[in-house]
Amino acid sequence: MRVQPINFVWRTVDLVDADGVATRTMAMVPEPRYDNIAKRQFEDGEAYPLQQIEERSMRSHNQFFAAMGEYYDNLPENIAARWPTDVHFRKWCLIETNWFTEKEYEMASEKGAMMLADDIRIDDEYARIVVRGTKVFVRRAMSQSLAAMGREKFEASKKDCLELAEAMVGTPVRTMLREAGKHG
């Protein structure tokens, strides 16, 4: 079963024991629209870890993706063909600004390393793959989802990517964010 996020509210509740005695306490209670999901995902009496996830401003999120799209559309002709889509460009920017995960593979032969690199490319068209002899290095852009980054890391990655794109295109970030707001 796929676990879904559920919004809870911290509130005062009355717990009634087997003898009918009520005790007032604080508890995390699912919002009403999440009742059915909570009933499917949780067992009565079981303990579950609870982690607060920082909400990210959807305005900031949408603004970033729109601005990166604008930068992609305004790349100089001599480099624009390097990235087939704005997603390729954004993920390249993430890797270039050190927002990536990296794995290293050691193969038995150079041919094996090339075959692995080809297989990885089929599975992930955005990865940066480098083959050095029998070693394969794979860098993948970090996910910018709320669960993966939270607000603070997202804002830092947003800033880094926009500054890199600004340097490549020459249009100030402030201007591009304003333009992106007109179209988004």
- Verify that 162 and 73 share a domain, yes or no: yes
* Segment 10-24 mean pLDDT: 90
Containing domain of residue 96, as a range?
Answer: 58-183
Contacts 24+ apart (CB under 8 A), 81-88: 87/126, 88/125, 88/126
- Verify that 47 and 17 share a domain, yes or no: yes
pLDDT single digits (tens) 43-58:
888 888 877 665 556 7
- Verify that 81 and 119 share a domain, yes or no: yes
- Verify that 125 and 174 share a domain, yes or no: yes
pLDDT at 56: 59
- Verify that 101 and 141 share a domain, yes or no: yes
pLDDT single digits (tens) 98-132:
999 999 999 999 999 999 999 999 999 999 999 99
pLDDT at 135: 98
Angle between helices 86-96 and 146-169 (to 10 degrees): 100
Q: Are 138 and 128 in contact (CB under 8 A)?
A: yes
- Verify that 34 and 78 share a domain, yes or no: no
Residue of higher predicted confidence among 136 and 39 = 136
pLDDT single digits (tens) 62-98:
889 999 999 999 999 999 999 999 999 999 999 999 9
* Segment 125-149 mean pLDDT: 93
